[in-house]
Structure 1
Amino acid sequence: MRKKFTKLIIPFAAASLLLAACGEQATNNSNNTSSGQSSKVASIKDESLKAASPDSVPAKALNRKDTFIATLSTNPGGAFLPNFYKTGYDGNVSSPIFDGLVDINEKGEYTPKLAEKWEISKDGKTYTFHIRKNAKFSDGKPVTSEDVAFTLSILHDPSYAGDTDISRAHIIGGEDYKKGKAKTIKGIEIVDDQTITIKTDSVDVQALSILGGPVLSKAYYGKGYHFGNLDYLKDLYQKPMGAGPYKFDKYIPNQEVRYVANENYWNGAPKIKHFIYKIANENGLQYFQAGDVDFAGFTANADNLEQLKSVGFANIDIYTGTPISFISINNKKEYMKDAKVRQALNYGLNRQQIIDTVYQGYGEVANIPIAPVSWAYNDEGVRKFNYDPKKAKELLDEAGWKVGKNGIREKDGKKLELVYLSAKSDDGLIPIAKENYKEIGINLKPEFSDFNALVSKVDKGNYDLASFSTPMIMDPNDVVADYHSKNADKNNGYKNPALDKLIEEGQNTLDQEKRKEIYHKLYKEFADNPPIILLNYRKILNGVSSRIDGVKQDPYNGILSSLTEVDITK
């Protein structure tokens, strides 16, 4: 599931600094019931806890006078360029380096960034951006309308293979440019160095975020550009240069990513000169306790919270996030095209038990593809998929899958054996899912690989089920747009004309109240003909060293929006 703004993908039970948690192993100590809906653990409150012993910071941390270190849970893939990276870890690496024209605040509202303001015409089809006069790239060159036009142009290039769907912006002349029928994009008008007007031929609620995304320097990234060939950019993937608060310094695979403050940043250089992502893998808690890092995210559960509380210098934040954990279903497989089979997979998995066991109650079963913090949340009247193995068995019977001699269902000589991909060998979902699915006649076959290899397998269609989480969700369309039939080939093969119609209606109106009605209908269709298995909405658990001030967190940005204000306590 790849989404707008950052196009991030992160694995279930492992999230990232700017998005959620660092993916520490969850402790499984709850009741492990095999049937029936397990009892829900009492809901966990959002709260901030001050350090019990703020003066107990380890000496090695106190000696870092000009450096802020945060964990990154998994080694990035190495493509540090917005619109071109494939994983959320690369997105995290890129985020401090690149700014967009617009930003998102803690309420999920659009706010100015490189653009000091913008206007949208009454018909919702023309956008005019006014770039800040003091906006500069880290090399000191000004951010101009030419850079914005260049960025939008390469996203229309026929050789572009990234995850940004620029067609959603509906820029007039975009398709002609992509097909080589025009040398420029007709709808892009450069008024002057700081002003650019973009005309579209239809309304799309997310056009602003797409048009206002990260800006690339034409002088830097445009060297060597020839229409129809973007391969030259690969040489710059690990030499990123943007207009964000930090400049890229060095990437040491499997160890760390280093940055230095951008003295040319439009909003003033960050207060801390050096920023480092330390790649933690499974060592986040140890690094935090030892003072090797100043900020770390963890799988939200009671055990990890208690361990963090025992670290006297830890300021702790627990809050409800917007990411959604889910299992992708490969709808390209013939046996997955039957909605009854996909419904059975949903009914047959005890999702509440996963929350109680893996997250010890620090989450909530997801019934619709949007988190409760969103204005669009409404699950009233939506099929809930409460754990019901009897219902799952009935659906599989109706779909023609009959129980064989060994208890595994069969149809047309094929056994119902499903390959489940995970990036964690200790994925706490697996023992629950194996037992649940065995009960209804399905043999679950887990396969493990590092996250980048997992993504490659999914892209090639070499899976039945794969465990993921969305990035932070800015808009309800972010989650569902991938399941439009036009995206079937590049996503998981799902096609549903009824859902297509509702997705388009949600995209093509700017009236939020009307959108609420549309998405409520959409969520009912999504559940009746599910493209995926929704798992849960999770709490976010982070620890911040008491030697650090200014870290602010919210469901839409993590700590990204406060990065320039982070400082070392005096």
Structure 2
Amino acid sequence: MEPGKKPVLFLMTCLCLLTMLLAACGGGSSGPSSTKASDDKQTLRYPVVGDPDINTFDPALVQDTDSNFPIQAVFTGLVTLDANLQVKPQLAESYQQSDGGLTWTFKLKPNLTFSNGDKLTSEDVVYSINRTIDPATKSSVSGYLQLVKGYKDLSGGKVKTLIGTSLLAPDPQTVVIKISQPAAYFLQTLSYPTSYVVNKKLVEKYGAQWTDHVEEGGGAGPWKVEKYTHNKGLELVRNDAYYGAKPQMKRLSVIFYKDQDSMYRAFQAQQLDFTPVPSTNLEQERSTPGFKETPILTIRYIAMNYLVKPFDNIKIRQAFALAINKDLIVQSAMKNAFTPSNHVIPKGMPGYDENLTGPLGTGTQGDANKAKQVLAEGLKEAGYASVSALPPITLTFYPRNQNFKDALTAIAQMWQTTLGIKVNIDVVTRPKLLDLTTATKNNGSLQMWQAGWNADYPDPQDWLTLFFDKGQDYNQFNYGQNKMQDTSAQLDVQKKLEQADQEQDATKRMQLYNEAEQQAINDVGWLPLWQEKVQYLVRTNVQNLSLNSQQLIPPDDWSKIYITQ
């Protein structure tokens, strides 16, 4: 103790410390105190992957979870998904359908504004949707809006706009959207940021760089931008003009990190209030106050470009799939943090098929003998005398953390051991991988890569049609868009998906999706690896912070989160 302190004071100090420790232990994740901290302490430091920056801050362009987090905080649309992934009105006060489900009319909430006070009307809504579809915006994810009547005409450059035809603003409070076919999932598609409202004034003033000036009033969500520093982070402050339940916190600091390992180290150094837990540290952190685990609708998979040899042969693709023991990979490299899977549609989603198998009826442990057999058959069909005659093969991926890198390295070793095929590893940044995969559509610029998908909305269409139907933004591996022996079977899958998208009988619809999914897995359209959970730590003085199965916080749920003393 410090010189000059009296023993009685030391004893009192010890008793106070003991009381605080007991309160912290007994309170668990609810924190050491139930007393709300003062307004100047209401700051949450939250990390996302920005390597070196987030991929985009434009709702029309977003295609990754880390960019989506700040976008969801700042921008909103007609509807959103709540914590249970149910559609909930957002800018809209109400909506109704007519004309056999082909016309949707939305009534906006009164007195809506952007964060700078500019009025937000129906014209802003139709402008934003039209902007995403407009080819000048160069959105690689405009397909979320493909149900809008005339989508192909605008995206293909045949017409200049859909405003006034299928996107209507008859008065400042009314939005009318006409769609091309009845679809059970239409409202869900509007919950994705491609339909979120942006401030036309900013876009026209600054062009492609408008998100660098979004602090001037770009969004209408619960948070507004105070400062955006590229390669560092976003400083968000409470939007007191927000029409919904306002955040109790004053500030949200969204900080960019290279990967999850660096987030975890920053949390340990008291620099963050939230962090994902790397698999390596999972067991030691499970008993830590503030630890949470949420099953999420995320599948990690490997994609093979159907236009690039040797993956233009189905049996060679199947050999690569069967050579992987997913059970062993998840147990060893991923420390049992996730669940091995052969699925496209994850467990917990409508349409999940418990009876689905891997290619040739296999389980998640693979089958080394079958892998060798179909490889020999595939080599013969494709005209390769042996594996030594194969072209060089490269697996490209972004390592979210060290365990992730270990898992992909172990998979490459299984291919070497079982098939005798050396696969080179190419590690790239997140933005680089997104650019590369976008560029693979209809060409052979990328051979094989690791990717992941997290549910945008709870419908099989978001998983199957968006990836395997012809012309879809995410059909980057060119399924059905090739000239292989088995292309006709792929085209049959696409027809089945289009039929399922329009089917009004829910039972029959799910059956069609199940059949299409099994065939896509047999074709190795995807090579699924595992379904994920998110394990994370939250500071014990942060109350009510929980992620939903999209790894997001719904707009109005920010009002429940606050900092205690």
Equivalent position of 2:251 in the other structure: 274
Equivalent position of 2:552 in the other structure: 558
Equivalent position of 1:335 in the other structure: 310
Question: Aligned with 2:329: secondary structure?
Answer: helix
Q: Is the Cα–Cα contact under 8 Å of residues 324 and 469 in structure 1 kept in the other structure?
A: yes
Q: Distance in 1 between matches of 2:40 and 2:349?
A: 39
Q: What amino acid sits opposite 2:209 in the alignment?
A: D
Question: Aligned with 2:204: secondary structure?
Answer: coil
Q: Is the Cα–Cα contact under 8 Å of residues 403 and 409 in structure 1 kept in the other structure?
A: no
Question: Aligned with 1:563: secondary structure?
Answer: helix
Q: Distance in 1 between matches of 2:100 and 2:117?
A: 37
Matched, 1:292 2:286: no
Residue 257 of structure 1 deviates from its aligned partner by: 1.8
Q: What amino acid sits opposite 2:42 in the alignment?
A: D
Q: What amino acid sits opposite 2:507 in the alignment?
A: E
Q: Is the Cα–Cα contact under 8 Å of residues 172 and 187 in structure 1 kept in the other structure?
A: yes
Equivalent position of 1:509 in the other structure: 503
Matches of residues 304-323 of structure 1 in structure 2 within 5 Å?
304-307=282-285, 309-310=287-288, 314-323=289-298
Equivalent position of 1:10 in the other structure: none
Pick the aligned partner of 2:432 from 437, 453, 473. Answer: 453
Q: Distance in 1 between matches of 2:350 and 2:318?
A: 27
Matched, 1:478 2:462: yes
Q: Is the Cα–Cα contact under 8 Å of residues 54 and 66 in structure 2 kept in the other structure?
A: yes
Q: Distance in 2 between matches of 1:164 and 1:210?
A: 12
Q: Is the Cα–Cα contact under 8 Å of residues 223 and 238 in structure 2 kept in the other structure?
A: yes
Deviations 1:296-318 (A, max 9, x none): 1224x4732413635xxx31211
Residue 436 of structure 1 deviates from its aligned partner by: 1.0
Unpaired runs of at least 5, structure 2: 1-25, 481-489
Deviations 1:351-403 (A, max 9, x none): 11111012222222222211111121113153454311111111111112599
Equivalent position of 2:19 in the other structure: none
Q: What amino acid sits opposite 1:564 in the alignment?
A: S
Matches of residues 93-172 of structure 1 in structure 2 within 5 Å?
93-121=70-98, 123-166=100-143, 168-172=145-149
Q: What amino acid sits opposite 2:448 in the alignment?
A: L
Q: Distance in 1 between matches of 2:128 and 2:325?
A: 45
Q: Is the Cα–Cα contact under 8 Å of residues 60 and 139 in structure 2 kept in the other structure?
A: yes
Distance 1:393-1:538 versus aligned 2 partners, 3 A rule: same
Deviations 1:87-114 (A, max 9, x none): 4332223221101111112332211111
Residue 324 of structure 1 deviates from its aligned partner by: 0.7
Aligned-residue CA RMSD in angstroms? 3.1
Pick the aligned partner of 1:364 from 316, 339, 350. Answer: 339
Q: What amino acid sits opposite 1:235 in the alignment?
A: Q
Structure 1 residue ranges, 4+ long, deviating more than 6 angstroms after superposition: 61-64, 402-405
Question: Aligned with 2:41: secondary structure?
Answer: coil
Q: Distance in 2 between matches of 1:436 and 1:404?
A: 24
Indicate the structure (1 or 2) with the bigger Cα radius of gyration: 2
Residue 530 of structure 1 deviates from its aligned partner by: 1.8
**Whose RCO is larger (CA < 8 A, sep 6+)?**
1
Matched, 1:237 2:222: no
Equivalent position of 2:423 in the other structure: 444
Residue 559 of structure 1 deviates from its aligned partner by: 3.0
Matched, 1:188 2:167: yes
Q: Is the Cα–Cα contact under 8 Å of residues 382 and 523 in structure 1 kept in the other structure?
A: no
Distance 1:319-1:91 versus aligned 2 partners, 3 A rule: closer
Matched, 1:492 2:477: yes
Deviations 1:1-24 (A, max 9, x none): xxxxxxxxxxxxxxxxxxxxxxxx
Question: Aligned with 1:304: secondary structure?
Answer: helix
Residue 223 of structure 1 deviates from its aligned partner by: 2.3
Q: What amino acid sits opposite 1:434 in the alignment?
A: A
Q: Distance in 2 between matches of 1:403 and 1:177?
A: 41
The more displaced of 63-72 and 391-400 is 63-72
Q: Distance in 2 between matches of 1:73 and 1:199?
A: 37
TM-score (norm 1): 0.81
Question: Aligned with 1:83: secondary structure?
Answer: coil
- Which structure carries more helix by proportion? 2
Q: Is the Cα–Cα contact under 8 Å of residues 379 and 386 in structure 2 kept in the other structure?
A: no
Q: What amino acid sits opposite 1:395 in the alignment?
A: V
Distance 1:490-1:363 versus aligned 2 partners, 3 A rule: closer
Q: What amino acid sits opposite 1:198 in the alignment?
A: I
User: How many residues are treated as equivalent by the alignment?
Assistant: 504
Q: Distance in 2 between matches of 1:455 and 1:247?
A: 27
Identity of aligned residues (%): 19
Distance 1:221-1:333 versus aligned 2 partners, 3 A rule: same
Residue 65 of structure 1 deviates from its aligned partner by: 0.7
Residue 180 of structure 1 deviates from its aligned partner by: 4.8
Q: What amino acid sits opposite 1:456 in the alignment?
A: D
Question: Aligned with 1:322: secondary structure?
Answer: strand
Q: Distance in 1 between matches of 2:239 and 2:272?
A: 22
Q: What amino acid sits opposite 1:237 in the alignment?
A: T
The more displaced of 423-432 and 343-352 is 423-432
Residue 429 of structure 1 deviates from its aligned partner by: 1.6
Equivalent position of 2:50 in the other structure: 74
